[in-house]
Structure 1
Amino acid sequence: MLALSECDWFDEVLVVNDEDETSLFAQEVAGIRPLKKSEVYLGKKGPEVDFSVRQRAALIANEADNNHLSHDYVEKVEPNDMLEYKNAGVQEGVFKRLRQGKYGIEARLDLHRRTVAQAREQVYQFAEDCVRNDIRVAIIVHGKGDRTPDPDSQAMIKSYINKWLRDLDNVMAFHSAQRHHGGLGAVYVLFKKSEKARLENWEKHQKR
């Protein structure tokens, strides 16, 4: 029997072990197919999250906390009463065009079938959104509230609209709408210019 040197024996053992490991690995992976690219993923993929919705919800919650509009006692108006209000800074010509419905309506809020609590939140949010988006003229449809059997509940939303719009700093004027826009069941609202719009207007006049 031929004797092996220590070095030769070590090399032979390595060769035998490599062959054994290769054989064992081949047995273990037998029958396994490679994954297609479409099947490959890293980690566990959960449902897509729309962060814009979360951000919007957080913004609404924050603004709701700042909502100062009252939901306590309100001075009642009648279903067929005309609503009108003009801030001291609004020119007569502007107010006249508003009540005549001659300004383009850029946004609309419909409060039909809303409770007072729901209307309060939506009116506040609507006003914030209008100013944020540089909307100057909008319409709020509140209904006349004349179909309610209980006389004490008639024109309830309309009565609150008459109060809330006066309490909003961004509202410059409002007036009951023309018949083709809802008549006494709706109101035109003139909003204050946003800081951005005022700056752009100032810069435009400076360039003239």
Structure 2
Amino acid sequence: MFPEDDEDPAALFRAAIGAVTPMREQSPSIPAQQRPRPKPRARMAEQDEAQARGEFARLLQSALPLEGGDVLSYRRDSLPNRTLQRLRKGHYSVQDELDLHGATAAQAERLLRQFLLEAHDHDLGCVRIIHGKGLQADGGVPVLKNLVDRLLRLRADVLAFHSAPPNQGGTGAVLVLLARR
């Protein structure tokens, strides 16, 4: 049954194995251990962001727009009213500032989101956002002021905000009190 010792080793192997049936060709597959893992995605954060954008758009359409001289003011229910009064009077030290003058609504939204993320990352407590009074706005509606108001109300890291005192920009700027990490 086995060939002589002087034969080809491959022939010896085939003789030892016996008859074989060739497998049909398959596409090369990578074992599960060697497959690259997909990059992680923050699906819940993406869903939250999409939901917030939808609500933001809904709020922009349903709410009465603010006028140039209107005061921006907001406080979370969990925050004492005294804190908002101190913010209104400018008692908190401003640690950073963002000026949105000349930006389109889309640019301003992107800049504001990025600014607030960075402020949160650096654990800043109070920031100033200059949006302008909107006196040059078409139709008399201050676009950036309304954008800032609506966006800040929807952010979880914003505890309170109020239009700045007159010596810090008045109704053309807003002081924002941020939650600490």
TM-score normalised per structure 2: 0.66
| SS of corresponding position for 1:164 | helix
How far, CA to CA, are the matches of 2:80 and 2:121 in structure 1?
23
Match for residue 111 of structure 1?
100
CA-based RMSD: 2.1
Instruction: Please say if residues 137 and 191 of structure 1, whose CA atoms lie closer than 8 Å, have aligned partners that are also in contact.
Output: yes
Q: Which residue of 2 aligns with 1:77?
A: 66
Which consecutive residues of structure 1, in runs of 5 or more, have no partner in the other structure? 1-61, 195-208
Which residue is equivalent to 1:158?
145
1:135 aligned counterpart, secondary structure: coil
Which residue matches 1:127?
A: 116
Which secondary structure does the structure 2 equivalent of 1:193 belong to? coil
Residue identity over aligned pairs, in percent, reads 33
Query: CA–CA distance in 2 between the matches of 1:156 and 1:147?
Result: 10
Spell out, residue by residue over 1:128-171, the C-alpha distance to the aligned partner (whole angstroms, 9 max, x if none).
111110101000000011123x32x5311101111000000000
Corresponding position of 1:182: 169
Distance 2:129 2:66 in 1: 16
Matches of 2:84 and 2:66, distance apart in 1: 22
2:147 aligned counterpart, secondary structure = helix
Query: Structure 2, unaligned stretches of length 5 or more?
Result: 1-44
For residues 168 and 124 of structure 1, what CA distance do their matches in structure 2 show?
9
Contact 1:71/1:117 (<8 A) preserved: no
Give the Cα–Cα distance (whole angstroms) in 2 for the partners of residues 95 and 78 of structure 1. Answer: 22
Correspondence 1:170 to 2:157 = yes
* Number of corresponding residues: 130
1:150-206: per-residue Cα shift (whole Å, max 9, x none)?
32x531110111100000000000000011110000000000011xxxxxxxxxxxx
Q: Name the TM-score, length of structure 1 as normaliser.
A: 0.58
| Distance across 2 between alignment mates of 1:155 and 1:177 | 16
Matched AA of 1:185 = G
1:27-76 deviation per Cα after TM superposition (whole angstroms, max 9, x unaligned): xxxxxxxxxxxxxxxxxxxxxxxxxxxxxxxxxxx99xx57444564431
Residue identity matched to 2:68: P
Whole-angstrom distance in 2 between the partners of 1:181 and 1:71: 29
Per the TM alignment, residue 127 of structure 1 is displaced from its structure 2 partner at its CA by 1.0
**Counterparts of 1:108 and 1:95 in 2: how far apart (Å)?**
19
Equivalent position to 2:180, from 165, 179, 193: 193
Secondary structure of the residue aligned to 1:90 is: coil
1:145 & 1:174 partners in 2: Cα distance? 19
- Structure with higher Rg: it is 1
